[in-house]
């Protein structure tokens, strides 16, 4: 049985990366697809772990070759998801998470309409701005730009199957875990995973 593909999107500062990290740590049967990016490696990041870091010329060649399930330009850098990497994980039965923005999500839905998507929202505009400032990674100008882009990003929440409000981290994590758990209990999934048991009950 193939795994389930999940899309998780959020505006910058909403806590997506921390939530996904905690989710994967608590769920051994789910993994995060490692994206390709043209941006520079940040302190503490490792190639092949956080991202596959590539030059712009190589990225464009991969687009021409049709290697990406989705690709987008975010904050002047290119990001893309390897189609082969995702397919090879799903075929083993492992669930896969794509941490991508609304542009990428739209592309993935076209190719894999059976994917499930989750949008993470902050509890308020002011809280989102404070979280970005508390990170201390960006200048005031960059924070201002991220806030403008966040508004654009958040207008697409209606395109997603589920919405999670990250007001309290542990509650938001439990909400995402509940979505994954409920999906695994769907009748169609259970019929495939427990066909022997179900057939035996009807003998």
pLDDT band of 55, cuts 50, 70, 90: very high
Residue 120 backbone zone (phi > 0: left; psi -120 to 50: alpha; other: beta)? beta
Of the pLDDT bands very low, low, confident and very high (cuts 50, 70, 90), residue 164 is very high
With cut-offs at 50, 70 and 90, classify the pLDDT of residue 99: very high
H/E stretch holding 48 reads none
Name the token pair of 114.
């059976």
What is the structure's pLDDT at 171? 98
- Whether residue 95 contacts residue 29, with contact meaning beta carbons closer than 8 Å, is answered with yes
What span, in angstroms and rounded, lies between the C-alpha atoms of 132 and 150? 11
CB-count burial class (<10 Å; 0-12, 13-18, 19+) for 202? exposed
Q: What is the pLDDT of residue 198?
A: 82
pLDDT tens sequence across 67-78: 999 998 887 899
User: Model confidence at 42, in pLDDT bands (50, 70, 90)?
Assistant: confident
Share the mean pLDDT of the chain: 92
How much is the pLDDT for 199? 84
Task: List, in order of start, the domains of the chain with CATH numbers.
Answer: 5-201 (3.40.50.300)
Cα–Cα dist 110/104, whole Å: 10
């Amino acid at each position: 049985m193939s795994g389930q593909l999940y899309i998780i999107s959020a505006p910058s500062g909403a806590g997506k990366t921390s939530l996904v990290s905690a989710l994967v740590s608590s769920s051994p049967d789910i993994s995060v697809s490692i994206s390709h990016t043209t941006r520079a490696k940040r302190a503490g990041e490792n190639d092949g772990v956080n991202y596959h870091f590539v030059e712009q010329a190589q990225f464009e060649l991969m687009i021409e070759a049709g290697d990406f399930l989705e690709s987008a330009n975010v904050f002047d850098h290119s990001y893309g998801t390897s189609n082969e990497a995702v397919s090879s994980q799903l075929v083993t039965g492992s669930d896969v998470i794509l941490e991508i923005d609304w542009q990428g999500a739209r592309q993935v839905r076209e190719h894999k309409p059976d994917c499930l998507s989750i949008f993470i929202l902050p509890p308020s505009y002011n809280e989102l701005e404070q979280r970005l400032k508390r990170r201390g990674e960006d200048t005031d100008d960059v924070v201002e730009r991220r806030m403008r882009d966040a508004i654009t990003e958040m207008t697409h929440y209606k395109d997603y199957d589920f919405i999670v409000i990250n007001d309290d981290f542990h509650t938001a994590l439990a909400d995402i875990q509940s979505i994954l758990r409920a999906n695994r209990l769907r009748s169609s999934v259970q019929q495939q995973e427990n066909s022997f048991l179900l057939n035996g009950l009807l003998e």
